[in-house]
Amino acid sequence: MGRKLDPTNKVKRGPGKKARKQQGAETELAKFLTDEETGPKRLSSRGRKRAAKRVQKKSAAVTEEKPKKGFTDENSKWLKPAKRKRKIDEPEDADDSDEHWEEEDDDEEEEEELLQKKKDQGKKAGKVGVKKVEEEEEEEEEDDDDEEEEEEEEEEESDDDDEEMVDDYGTLDDGDEAAAEEEGDSDGEDLLPIERAAKKDKKLKEALDLESDDDEEDDDDDDDDDDDEQKSDADEDDTIQTNTDEGDKFRLPGAEESEKEGVMPLDLKTIHQRIKDNIDVLCNFSTKREPGKDRSEYLSLLKKDLCTYYSYNSFLMEKFMDLFPLSELVDFLEANEIHRPVTIRTNTLKTRRRDLAQALINRGVNLDPLGKWSKVGLVIYDSSVPVGATPEYLAGQYMLQGASSFLPVMALSPQEGELVLDMSSAPGGKTTYIAQLMRNTGVIVANDANADRLKSVVGNIHRLGVTNTVVSNYDGRQFPKVMGGFDRVLLDAPCSGTGVIAKDPAVKTSKDEADIRRSAHLQKELILAAIDSVNAESSSGGYLVYCTCSITVEENECVVDYALKKRNIKLVPTGLDFGTEGFTRFRERKFHPSLKLSRRFYPHSHNMDGFFVAKLKKFSNVIPTATAGKEDDGAEAPEATAATNPPEEKPTQSDKPKKTLVKEAGSSQQKTNGTAKVKSKGKKDSTAGPKKAKLAKLDGETAKKTEKPAGTKAVNETKATRTDKKARKNKTAMKAKNRMGKNKFKKLKHMLQKHDG
Partner 1 sequence: MRPLTEEETKTMFEKLSKYIGENIKLLVDRPDGTYCFRLHNDRVYYMSEKILKLATNISRDKLMSVGTCFGKFTKTKKFRLHITALDFLAPYAKFKVWVKPGAEQSFLYGNHVLKSGLGRITENTMQYQGVVVYSMADVPLGFGVAAKTTQECRRVDPMSIVVFHQADVGEFIRNEDALT
Q: Pick the catalytic residue from 307, 495, 547, 549.
A: 549
* Rounded Cα–Cα distance for residues 677 and 671 (Å): 9
The 3-state secondary structure of 435-447, one letter per residue: HHHCCCCCEEEEE
CB of 752 to partner 1, least distance (A): 9
| Nearer to partner 1 (CB atom), residue 273 or residue 390 | 390
* Rounded Cα–Cα distance for residues 305 and 311 (Å): 9
For residue 374, what is the enclosing H or E element?
strand 374-383
| Nearer to partner 1 (CB atom), residue 126 or residue 429 | 429
| Nearer to partner 1 (CB atom), residue 363 or residue 691 | 363
| Nearer to partner 1 (CB atom), residue 460 or residue 550 | 460
| 495 part of the active site | no
* Rounded Cα–Cα distance for residues 443 and 430 (Å): 14
For residue 343, what is the enclosing H or E element?
strand 342-346
* Rounded Cα–Cα distance for residues 615 and 621 (Å): 17
Consult the annotation and say whether 428 binds a ligand. yes
| Nearer to partner 1 (CB atom), residue 88 or residue 400 | 400
CA angle 84/87/91 to nearest 5° reads 110
Checking DSSP bridges between strand 398-400 and strand 342-346, what pairing results, if any? Answer: antiparallel
Consult the annotation and say whether 429 binds a ligand. yes
Chain center to CA of 53:
28
Q: By the 8 A CB rule, do 634 and 683 touch?
A: no
Q: Count Cβ atoms below 10 Å from residue 265 Cβ, excluding itself.
A: 11
Buried/exposed code over 714-726 (b: 16+ C-beta within 10 A; e: otherwise)? beeebeeebeebb
291 by DSSP, 3-state: which?
Answer: coil
| Nearer to partner 1 (CB atom), residue 468 or residue 718 | 468
Consult the annotation and say whether 424 binds a ligand. yes
CB of 447 to partner 1, least distance (A): 9
Per DSSP, 577 falls in state: S
| Nearer to partner 1 (CB atom), residue 207 or residue 464 | 464
CB of 394 to partner 1, least distance (A): 4
| Nearer to partner 1 (CB atom), residue 166 or residue 435 | 435
Q: By the 8 A CB rule, do 561 and 592 touch?
A: yes
CB of 402 to partner 1, least distance (A): 19
* Rounded Cα–Cα distance for residues 623 and 487 (Å): 17
CB of 497 to partner 1, least distance (A): 23
- Tell me the C-alpha to C-alpha distance, in Å, between residue 450 and each of 81, 359, 453, 515, 546: 34, 35, 5, 19, 19
What is the per-residue DSSP string for 588-619? TEE--GGGGGSEEE-HHHHSS--EEEEEEEE-
CB of 470 to partner 1, least distance (A): 5
Handedness of CA 595, 721, 541, 451 (dihedral sign): negative
Contact positions toward partner 1, by CB under 8 A?
Answer: 359, 388-389, 391-392, 394-397, 419, 443, 445, 451, 454-459, 461-463, 465, 467-474, 482-483
439 sits in the region (left: phi over 0; alpha: psi -120 to 50; else beta) called left
Consult the annotation and say whether 426 binds a ligand. yes
| Nearer to partner 1 (CB atom), residue 171 or residue 535 | 535
Q: By the 8 A CB rule, do 536 and 620 touch?
A: yes
What is the per-residue DSSP string for 106-158? TTHHHHHHHHHHHHHHHHHHHHHHHHHHHHHHHTTTT-HHHHHHHHHHHHHHH
The 3-state secondary structure of 8-69, one letter per residue: CCCCCCCCCHHHHHCCCHHHHHHHHHHHHHHCCCCCCHHHHHHHHHHHHHHHHHHCCCCCCC
CB of 391 to partner 1, least distance (A): 5
Give the torsion through C-alpha atoms of 728, 730, 735, 740, to 10 deg.
150
Per DSSP, 534 falls in state: B
Chain center to CA of 232:
24
| Nearer to partner 1 (CB atom), residue 592 or residue 749 | 749
* Rounded Cα–Cα distance for residues 414 and 117 (Å): 59
CB of 750 to partner 1, least distance (A): 15
Give the torsion through C-alpha atoms of 484, 489, 494, 495, to 10 deg.
130
Closest CA to 446 of 422, 420, 463: 422
252: CB partners within 8 A, 6+ apart? 290, 293, 297, 298, 301
Consult the annotation and say whether 425 binds a ligand. yes
Consult the annotation and say whether 475 binds a ligand. yes
| Nearer to partner 1 (CB atom), residue 333 or residue 445 | 445
Q: By the 8 A CB rule, do 740 and 749 touch?
A: no
Active site residues: 549
User: Which residues line the annotated binding site?
Assistant: 424-430, 448, 475, 492
User: Which residues line the annotated binding site for S-adenosyl-L-methionine?
Assistant: 424-430, 448, 475, 492
